Structure 1
Amino acid sequence: MHVWGILLPESALREEFVAVLAAFVAINTILYVTLSVAKILPKVYVQDWISTRNRRSETRSIDPDAPV
């Protein structure tokens, strides 16, 4: 009979270290998925939502009839 892997006894899976490791892996997975989804979505610029009057009152174009 061939052994394809190492089987742990049930008592080893109930150790506090295994629970902490499982919690760490779960949090790490959630963070990785969140960052991956955020990277896929288009960038959001807050300046586009806030109306500021940082526009020139006169055009600086070489075309004098250019819109302001």
Structure 2
Amino acid sequence: MIAGIARAGLLLPESILQSDWFSALATFVAVNTLIYVAFAAIKIFPAPRFTRGRGRSRRVETRSIHPDGEV
């Protein structure tokens, strides 16, 4: 008997599955899962860079070891 339950998983009676508190719990878990999926998707992509000005050439002076190089 116990081995059959262990193989099938934990089964709850239909009265519990149809109750209001179980529906609320299932809704909370579903929303929480969607939020964490959205967070994971946002972390995959790099952060947007909103630059004003000249883009990559932001320095006024060169920091190269060759002082006559381009800025």
Please state which band the TM-score falls in when normalised by the shorter chain: 0.5 to 0.7
* Distance in structure 1 (CA, Å) of the matches to 2:59 and 2:11: 71
Q: CA RMSD in A?
A: 2.6
For each residue in 1:20-62, what CA deviation from the matched residue of structure 2 results, as whole angstroms up to 9, or x when unmatched? 10111101111222222233x2312323xx2325823333444
Query: What is the distance in 2 between the residues matched to 1:25 and 1:6?
Result: 18
Any stretches of 5+ residues in structure 1 without a counterpart? Answer: none
1:7 to 4, 12, 25: 12
Give the direction of change, closer, same or farther, for the CA distance of 1:7–1:45 in structure 2 (3 Å limit).
closer
1:52 and 2:53 aligned: yes
Q: CA deviation at 1:13?
A: 1.9
**What TM-score, normalized to structure 2?**
0.59
| Identical-pair percentage | 40
- In structure 2, distance between residues paired with 1:31 and 1:13: 24
Count of aligned pairs = 63
The answer for unaligned runs of 5 or more in structure 2 is none
Partner of 2:29: 25
TM-score normalized by structure 1?
0.61
